[in-house]
Amino acid sequence: MNVVSNRWVYKIKCRSDGSIERYKARLVARGFTKQEGIDYSETFSPVIKQATVRLVFSVAVSCGWKIHQLDIHNAFLNDILDEKVYMKQPQGFVDSALPSHLCRLHKSLYGLKQAPRAWYTRLNDFLLSIGFRASKVDTSLFIFSVGLDICYLLVYVDDILLTGSNSLLLQRLIQLLSSEFKLHDLGSVHYFLGIEVQSTSMGLMLFQHKYILDILTRAGMLSCKPIDTPISTSKATILLDPLFSDATRFRQIVGALKYLTFTRPDICFTVNRVC
Amino acid sequence: MAYILLAVLLLPYMVLQIQIGQAVLRTENLRVVTLCFFGQTLISWKSGKQRTVARSSTEAEYQALADGTAEVIWLLHLLTDLQILSASAPIIWCDNLGATYSSANPVFHARTKHVEVDYHFVRDRVAKKEIQIRFISSQDQLADVFTKPLPTSSFTAFCFKLRVDPPPLA
């Protein structure tokens, strides 16, 4: 039998403008101490594709639909575990009478290898049971159609986007979801996957202002002089800057830049070049 | 800092359009690009080095066309799932005449000898009228920004066409 240890994780949650929203403490299982076959079997959990997000945004904007963003509280704590997982008692809450006892986990915890998959399966089963249909080409897209009305639901782990042709139907679906999960309706989408969304008279604007500032801060280039194009046309890019002597750091920044191409197709070539 | 703008289009049907582009860089292999537009909104893009060796630009473009076709078919399935019907078959804009002609006319040319699999894949879809392939001149296609370093003036112009706009004055 394998025993999983645990740890408390403290985090400061920020809003899209960088101000502090709340302080958070969470008990996580140290899932890397688990063994495959004993503590978990399948771990893969699908996430939404970028093209799908953009396509659904585009359709919603064209039809003038409101895009709701829903946030599920403590999504991973909802799921019932199939496997038998034992964990040490949480730090600071050890029973003084029985210090050598273990906890048998009934429900999932953050940090467990199978937590994302268990959550996806649970949400998937629930959505199918209330009449949604999963898309065949993107398993994180769910469609609900009744008569001429249609609703789309996009799932990115515990972030959910819901849009559709009938606002009453949307309200009913949100009610159905909140009867099963503890969720928070954030209203119109404005901050999804680190992307800021602003609606204007011309449509929706997507930008990653905060994300760009984070990358610049991390790279120590906040005070650098801006230039007009991402790559020089004349000379080949020379990577001799001391920043790039550290391979790990270079890869971290390139990885961060790759996600930035979500709203910046113009730097796609340059990012691809430095990979 | 620049933004992407998703435009409002109040047309009942929006046509899916794909642009295929390629460029040869001095130091590297050929680069291929696929851009997918839905109405005027750019929804999917890919820039990468060519996956196999090609002996001519037509051959390379044809391989890119096959990749583009695969992407279109995926998007078509997605649109079907979303219950959105397109009024016409999606259009793939290709800036190579040789590849455009070979997709419609079942004649093997000396320069396309080695691309049979891609050839049949694309031709099959064209014959079934699932996609249309049309020629676009290199000046008009938008793929350049994904394939080569550009000077400021053309870079800004491409950003404008891709709807990557500068922020409005706050």
- Stretch B61-83: mean pLDDT, rounded? 80
Distance of CA B85 to the CA centre of its chain: 21
| Spatial contact of A187 and A68, defined as CB atoms under 8 Å apart | yes
What digits encode the pLDDT tens for the residues A226-243? 877 777 777 655 555 666
pLDDT of residue B86: 65
pLDDT of residue B2: 40
pLDDT of residue B9: 37
- Stretch B41-70: mean pLDDT, rounded? 74
B157 touching A, CB under 8 A? Answer: no
For residues B87 and B16, what is the distance between their CA atoms, to the nearest angstrom?
A: 10
| Spatial contact of B127 and B7, defined as CB atoms under 8 Å apart | no
* Burial letters A137-160, b for 16+ CB under 10 A, else e: bbbbbbbbbeeeebbbbbbebbbb
pLDDT of residue A227: 79
| Spatial contact of A160 and A154, defined as CB atoms under 8 Å apart | yes
For residues B34 and A194, what is the distance between their CA atoms, to the nearest angstrom?
A: 25
Confidence band of B7 (pLDDT split at 50, 70, 90): very low
Of A61, A143, A269, the CB nearest to B82: A143
| Spatial contact of B6 and A61, defined as CB atoms under 8 Å apart | yes
ipTM above 0.90, yes or no: no
Rounded to the nearest 10°, the torsion over CA B93, B96, B97, B101 is -70
Between the alpha carbon of residue B51 and those of residues A160, A193, A271, B54, B63, the distances in Å are 36, 31, 18, 9, 9
What digits encode the pLDDT tens for the residues A122-142? 888 888 998 888 888 888 889
Q: Output the pTM of the full model.
A: 0.79
- Residues in a beta bridge with A8: A27
Percentage of chain A modeled with pLDDT above 90: 0
Q: Which residue intervals of B109-151 are DSSP H helices?
A: 116-127
B2/A58 CB distance under 8 A: no
Asked if residue A16 has pLDDT above 50, the reply is yes
Return the residue of A nearest to B37 by Cα. A55
Residues from chain B that touch A141, judged by Cβ atoms under 8 A, are 78, 81-82
pLDDT of residue A5: 79
For residues A239 and A49, what is the distance between their CA atoms, to the nearest angstrom?
A: 32
For residues B37 and A38, what is the distance between their CA atoms, to the nearest angstrom?
A: 47
Confidence band of A61 (pLDDT split at 50, 70, 90): confident
Residue among A72, A74, A88, A70 nearest A26 (CA)? A74
Residue among A260, A56, A192, A232 nearest B2 (CA)? A260
B145 touching A, CB under 8 A? Answer: yes
Question: Tokens 């090609």 — which residue?
Answer: B54
- Stretch A66-83: mean pLDDT, rounded? 80
Q: Which of A61, A142, A268 to mutate to test the interface with B (most CBs of B within 10 A)?
A: A268
Residues from chain B that touch A204, judged by Cβ atoms under 8 A, are 5-6
- Residues in a beta bridge with B93: B19, B134
Alpha-carbon gap: A101 to the closest alpha carbon of chain B (Å)? 51
Asked if residue B26 has pLDDT above 50, the reply is no
**Residues whose CB falls within 8 Å of the CB of residue A222, separated by 6 or more in sequence, listed in order:** A213, A216
Confidence band of B17 (pLDDT split at 50, 70, 90): low
Asked if residue B21 has pLDDT above 70, the reply is no
Asked if residue B35 has pLDDT above 80, the reply is no
Q: Which has the minimum average pLDDT: A73-87, A119-133, A155-169?
A: A73-87
| Spatial contact of B147 and A229, defined as CB atoms under 8 Å apart | no
pLDDT of residue B87: 62
pLDDT of residue B25: 45
| Spatial contact of A124 and A134, defined as CB atoms under 8 Å apart | yes
Residues from chain B that touch A211, judged by Cβ atoms under 8 A, are none
Alpha-carbon gap: A211 to the closest alpha carbon of chain B (Å)? 11
Residues from chain A that touch B90, judged by Cβ atoms under 8 A, are none
Average model confidence (pLDDT) for chain B? 70
Interface residues of A toward B, Cβ cutoff 8 Å, are 50-52, 54-59, 61-62, 135-138, 141, 143, 145, 150, 152, 200, 202-207, 209, 212, 228-229, 231-233, 236, 263-266, 268-270, 272
Q: Which run of H or of E encompasses B76? A: helix B57-81
Alpha-carbon gap: B86 to the closest alpha carbon of chain A (Å)? 13
Confidence band of B168 (pLDDT split at 50, 70, 90): low
For residues A28 and A197, what is the distance between their CA atoms, to the nearest angstrom?
A: 31
- Residues in a beta bridge with A146: A149
Question: Which tops the pLDDT comparison, B58 or A144?
Answer: A144
Strand residues in chain A grouped as ranges (E) = 3-4, 6-14, 20-29, 67-72, 80-87, 103-107, 133-134, 141-146, 149-156, 159-164, 183-188, 191-192, 195-200, 203-207
Of B5, B38, B164, the CB nearest to A264: B164
Residue among A202, A205, A210, A199 nearest A259 (CA)? A210
What digits encode the pLDDT tens for the residues A181-221? 888 888 888 888 888 888 877 778 888 888 888 888 888 88
pLDDT of residue B148: 75
Average model confidence (pLDDT) for chain A? 81
Of A138, A206, A228, the CB nearest to B78: A138
- Stretch A254-262: mean pLDDT, rounded? 86
Percentage of chain A modeled with pLDDT above 70: 92
What digits encode the pLDDT tens for the residues B86-124? 667 777 777 777 777 777 766 656 656 666 666 677 888
The angle subtended at Cα B63 by Cα B76 and Cα B140, nearest 5°, is 75
Question: Which tops the pLDDT comparison, A33 or B168?
Answer: A33
Asked if residue B74 has pLDDT above 80, the reply is yes
Alpha-carbon gap: B128 to the closest alpha carbon of chain A (Å)? 21
DSSP A233-275: SSS-----SGGGG-HHHHHHHHHHHHHHTTT-GGGHHHHHHH-
Sign of the CA dihedral running B102, B105, B109, B113: positive
Of B39, B41, B159, the CB nearest to A266: B159
Q: Which of A56, A136, A137 to mutate to test the interface with B (most CBs of B within 10 A)?
A: A137
